[in-house]
């Protein structure tokens, strides 16, 4: 009994040791290909991490490690060797981060430049619309005809691009929100199966319609005229019919002093008239003397 009590006391006094739970590392960002050089920013993870690059052809769902890019510590890898592994030399690439046996979610790469496996396109933004300029003359179209299409992914900048439209050549996306930036990515598809790398996203600002700007200009021009038409008659009415009242309103208040109101104030000094002075008249005889 005493032994059990001592065990309980020791268990209560000994602090519990926290259990460290490992979480997978964050996936890589901005993975892109430029002339068969696959590049991505280094992971901001604490501790040592490694990267593994995988490829897959468009007719297969199996992802295979690129032999020269397995558990590497660099944040780039040449993948020219994968060109011979896919039909038409087209493969898809992705990168995943590994740390202490844990693997991140793989991130697929995009291509910065168009080639035989990646479409080349440009964007033109209009009021409420975005036109994706594409060419129907590419190597896949020559081999597969209209079965080889462009898949255009689009959406607001910073949001996942889940919407898409398939087209043979250029396509215009309508009913977009004006004043917002929209981005597009394009990828070849064959019988709805992705082929090769998708392009890296390109974005454009959707301008506001000219109709709205013209309405704003019209309103800015009409409002002063309306104000003047209302203001001028009002001012004329007051100047013609209410001028007397206006003068009375503007006349300052003044009070006459009380001593001016009393005709005979007692405290005013009384002045007597001056006494008449007598003058001596000088005769001619006195002047001659």
Q: What is the pLDDT of residues 167-209, one digit of tens each?
A: 988 999 999 999 999 999 999 988 888 888 999 999 999 998 8
Q: What is the mean pLDDT of residues 143-153?
A: 80
Does residue 124 register a pLDDT over 50? yes
Within this chain, do residues 53 and 93 fall inside the same structural domain, yes or no?
Answer: yes
Does residue 3 register a pLDDT over 80? no
Query: Residues of 63-94 as b/e, b for ≥16 C-beta within 10 angstroms?
Result: eeebeebeeeeebebebeebeeebebebbbbb
Rg for the chain (alpha carbons), in Å?
Answer: 48
Query: What stretches of 69-147 adopt beta strand conformation (E)?
Result: 76-78, 91-99, 102-103, 107-108, 110-111, 122-126, 129-133
Within this chain, do residues 147 and 187 fall inside the same structural domain, yes or no?
Answer: yes
In a domain, 136, yes or no: yes
Within this chain, do residues 28 and 107 fall inside the same structural domain, yes or no?
Answer: yes
In a domain, 216, yes or no: no
**Percentage of the residues of the chain whose pLDDT score is greater than 70:** 70
Query: Residues of 32-56 as b/e, b for ≥16 C-beta within 10 angstroms?
Result: bbeeeebbbeebeeeeebbbbbbbb
Q: What is the mean pLDDT of residues 251-274?
A: 59
Within this chain, do residues 131 and 107 fall inside the same structural domain, yes or no?
Answer: no
Tell me how far apart the alpha carbons of residues 29 and 70 are, in angstroms, rounded to a whole number. 18
* Domain housing 179: 122-205
Q: What's residue 20's pLDDT?
A: 43
Tell me how far apart the alpha carbons of residues 168 and 279 are, in angstroms, rounded to a whole number. 138
> Binning pLDDT at 50, 70 and 90, where does residue 63 land?
very high
Report phi then psi at 232, rounded to 5: -65, -50
Q: What's residue 18's pLDDT?
A: 40
- The span from the first CA to the last CA of the chain, in angstroms, equals 169
In a domain, 92, yes or no: yes
Tell me how far apart the alpha carbons of residues 58 and 87 are, in angstroms, rounded to a whole number. 8
- Name the residue with tokens 């604490």: 46
Does residue 5 register a pLDDT over 70? no
> Binning pLDDT at 50, 70 and 90, where does residue 215 land?
low
Where a domain ends, among 146, 171, 205?
A: 205
- Are 212 and 188 within 8 A, CB to CB? no
Within this chain, do residues 161 and 95 fall inside the same structural domain, yes or no?
Answer: no
> Binning pLDDT at 50, 70 and 90, where does residue 268 land?
low
Where a domain ends, among 65, 92, 111?
A: 111
98-102, 249-253, 258-262 — which is least confidently predicted? 258-262
Please provide the average confidence, as pLDDT, over all residues in the chain: 80
The per-residue pLDDT for range 153-170, each reduced to its tens digit, is 999 999 988 899 999 889
Q: What's residue 244's pLDDT?
A: 74
Residues 6+ apart with CB under 8 A from 193: 58, 59
Q: What's residue 22's pLDDT?
A: 78
Where a domain ends, among 164, 186, 205?
A: 205
Query: What is the CATH number for 74?
Result: 2.60.40.10
Within this chain, do residues 106 and 154 fall inside the same structural domain, yes or no?
Answer: no
- How many structural domains are present in the chain? 2
């Amino acid at each position: 009994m005493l032994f059990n009590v001592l065990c309980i006391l020791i268990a209560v006094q000994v602090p519990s040791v926290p259990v460290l739970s490992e979480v997978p590392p964050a996936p890589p960002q901005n993975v892109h290909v430029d002339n068969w050089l696959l590049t991505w920013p280094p992971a901001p993870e604490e501790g040592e991490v490694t990267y593994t690059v995988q490829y897959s052809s468009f007719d297969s769902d199996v992802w295979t490690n690129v032999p020269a890019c397995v558990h590497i510590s660099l944040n780039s890898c040449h993948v020219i060797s994968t060109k011979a592994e896919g039909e038409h030399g087209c493969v898809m690439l992705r990168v995943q981060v590994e740390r202490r046996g844990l693997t991140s979610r793989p991130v697929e790469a995009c291509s910065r430049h168009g080639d035989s496996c990646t479409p080349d396109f440009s964007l033109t933004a209009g009021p409420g619309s975005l036109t994706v300029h594409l060419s129907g003359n590419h190597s896949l179209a020559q081999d597969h005809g209209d079965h080889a299409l462009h898949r255009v992914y689009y959406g607001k900048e910073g949001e996942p691009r889940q919407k898409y439209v398939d087209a043979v050549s250029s396509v215009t996306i309508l009913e977009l929100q004006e004043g917002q930036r929209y981005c597009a990515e394009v990828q070849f598809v064959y019988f709805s199966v992705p082929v090769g790398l998708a392009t890296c996203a390109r974005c454009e600002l959707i301008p506001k319609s000219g109709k709205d700007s013209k309405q704003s200009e019209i309103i800015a021009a009409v409002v002063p005229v309306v104000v003047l038409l209302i203001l001028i008659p009002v001012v004329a009415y007051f100047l013609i019919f209410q001028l007397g009242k206006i003068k009375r309103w503007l006349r300052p208040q003044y009070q006459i002093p009380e001593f001016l109101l009393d005709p005979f104030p007692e405290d005013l000094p009384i002045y007597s008239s001056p006494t008449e002075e007598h003058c001596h008249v000088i005769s001619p005889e006195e002047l001659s003397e």
